[in-house]
Structure 1
Amino acid sequence: MVTLTRTMVFTSAAVILTSRAQTRFTTRKRRLTPKNTSCTSSHQSVKLLKFTDDTTLIGLISGGDESAYRWESDHLVSWCSHNNLELNALKTVEMVVDFRRNRAPPSPITLCDSPVTIVDSFRFLGSIITQDLKWELNISSITKKAQQRLFFLRQLKKFNLPKTMMVHFYTAIMESILCSSITVWYAAATAKDKGRLQRVIRSAERVIGCNLPSLQDLFSSRSLKRAKKIAADPSHPGQNLFVPLPSCRRLRSSRTKTSCHTSSFFPSAVGLINRAGPPLTDYSTCHFMLWQVDTPPVTPLHTAHAALTAIHHFVTCHFVSCLLLVC
């Protein structure tokens, strides 16, 4: 069964993002106040992600019923007005993710007497999400930023800085860009896009004169680290997706029907864990623990990764369960 999703984003200059697959997403940016904790979603099919300067509303539309999604949108507008927060309807956009064969044009949404603009893609927490859940635009943006920073790396080489200093510069300035939200999009990237990113790394290797961690290694290390963190947190809504088999040597693979779902974070993380080898296990109680892996050093990840993982998984698994990974 394919459903529809709509998403909106609100800000103090509000933005609405809607996705239909059938799925709708809405994000509105706004100022963070102590009273923001009182603004929560009351419907299971609608999720509200709040940040310092923006809020994203994600709605699952089943059977063409958008009442819950529209009610939450109106409730958020009303809540902001009662808490002295102003929404900018002109900067509010909506993205619809809809993978149905017979697609109907989305019904318009009005915010403060202004129609909400429906877009094909939008930038969410530094990453570009498109309505077909492809990552070419996001990877192109990352590649462009990394290539711009190659200039500064070459300047350091002209100044005869030691390799150690240049490696530190690469890790802090270039690798952090290349690995931005990598656990969300890398598994779904095409071989062509991965090659574009790897060429940037090879260019940096030639400038520095030493080998650097490949993008695949960086993705594996970060995915395993994030999976370990989720599996060790009983309060995390995604912990139940890391289920050990009766032998306690491997994890149970997720059932997927589409390549988009297969290449999302949780199925790919389970595959990485199973391929890495048998985990440390307490066989008396069959408690699963992710093991330490000898991987390249990992720099701190931005909390945007968690939110992007939540949105991508929410769509690709057809919204059977909404895993909000804001941590």
Structure 2
Amino acid sequence: MQVNDDCQKSTFHAPFCGCLQINAGKTKELVVDFRRHKQILSPVNIQGRDIVRVDSYKYLGVYLNNKLDWTNNTEAIYKKGQSRLFLLRRLRSFGVQGELLKTFFESVVASDIFYGVVCWGSSISTADRKRLDKLIRKASSVLGIPLDTVQEAGERRMVVKLSSLLQNASHTLYETVTSLSSSFSDRLIHPKCLKERYRRSFLPAAIRLYNQSCFQ
């Protein structure tokens, strides 16, 4: 990357994003450090300004924190899901039923609850998963039909995502995934995971699910 200090905004050149301008006033620093003996780091300085360091940050609609445990993201989803459930109940009280009510759920409620589930679905804690499943059970009682749990929806979407990735040669992870192809079957070789955090992340979890689907 190259930084142009002569401009009012720093300009970053990267092959995957072209030319981006960084506004120091809107930039935040999120430090992820799992070392036992953490070092005191000086703040990043851009355009003569120290960047504010935060513990959590919203990026592309998903909340990331410095522990990578998705608790902040789950809290945001839960609060938004509750407000969407209120609208779902109000519609039912007005006599809206059947497919119309289900369409509203899928487009307004489920779209918020399952947003980014491919990223966090396999690695959220059991407590966080139960909180979100509670929302789904409430929605199920309003609709009067069974609905997929967070785990079921997440696993299905991860397999679909990995399958589409294998067909997209322009995807960033295409070479990484295809290099794991087995020469004996359609299965993928599971990557070596030294940390449980990585084992529960998207790629290893999706590969396990994909391999299971090969035998079904």
**Band of TM-score, shorter chain:** 0.7 to 0.9
Instruction: Choose the corresponding residue for 1:198, options 121, 129, 133.
Output: 133
Q: Is structure 2 residue 14 aligned with structure 1 residue 41?
A: yes
Alignment TM-score, normalising by the size of structure 2: 0.87
Match of 1:264 in 2: 201
Q: How far apart, CA to CA, are the structure 1 residues paired with 2:13 and 2:185?
A: 38
> What is the CA distance between 1:238 and its match in structure 2?
1.2
Q: Is structure 2 residue 111 aligned with structure 1 residue 176?
A: yes
1:167–1:208 Cα contact (<8 Å) kept:
yes
> What is the CA distance between 1:132 and its match in structure 2?
1.3
Structure 1: which amino acid aligns with 2:59? F
Q: How far apart, CA to CA, are the structure 1 residues paired with 2:205 and 2:94?
A: 42
Residue segments in structure 2 that go unaligned for 5+ positions in a row: 1-8
Q: How far apart, CA to CA, are the structure 1 residues paired with 2:56 and 2:127?
A: 21
Q: How far apart, CA to CA, are the structure 2 residues paired with 1:197 and 1:108?
A: 36
SS at match of 1:188: coil
1:163–1:209 Cα contact (<8 Å) kept:
no
| 1:1-327 equivalence runs, <5 A | 39-41=12-14, 80=21, 88-239=23-174, 240-242=176-178, 243-278=180-215
SS at match of 1:129: strand
Aligned residues: 206
> What is the CA distance between 1:246 and its match in structure 2?
2.8
Q: How far apart, CA to CA, are the structure 1 residues paired with 2:43 and 2:75?
A: 31
2:91–2:101 Cα contact (<8 Å) kept:
yes
Task: State the percentage of identical aligned residues.
Answer: 27
Q: Which structure: greater helix fraction?
A: 2
Q: How far apart, CA to CA, are the structure 1 residues paired with 2:98 and 2:29?
A: 47
SS at match of 2:122: helix
Residue segments in structure 1 that go unaligned for 5+ positions in a row: 1-13, 15-27, 29-35, 43-47, 56-79, 81-86, 280-327
CA RMSD of aligned residues (A): 2.2
1:244–1:251 Cα contact (<8 Å) kept:
yes
Structure 1: which amino acid aligns with 2:104? F
SS at match of 2:63: strand
1:241–1:254 Cα contact (<8 Å) kept:
no
SS at match of 1:195: helix
Q: How far apart, CA to CA, are the structure 1 residues paired with 2:187 and 2:50?
A: 51
Which of structure 1's runs of 4+ aligned residues deviate more than 6 A?
Answer: none
> What is the CA distance between 1:50 and its match in structure 2?
6.9
1:245–1:252 Cα contact (<8 Å) kept:
yes
2:188–2:207 Cα contact (<8 Å) kept:
yes
Q: How far apart, CA to CA, are the structure 1 residues paired with 2:123 and 2:28?
A: 25
1:74-99, CA deviations, whole angstroms, 9 ceiling, x for partnerless residues?
xxxxxx5xxxxxx5433321111112
1:201–1:214 Cα contact (<8 Å) kept:
yes
Q: How far apart, CA to CA, are the structure 1 residues paired with 2:90 and 2:140?
A: 14
1:138-169, CA deviations, whole angstroms, 9 ceiling, x for partnerless residues?
01100110110111111111112222111111
1 or 2 for the larger relative contact order (CA 8 Å, sep ≥6)? 1
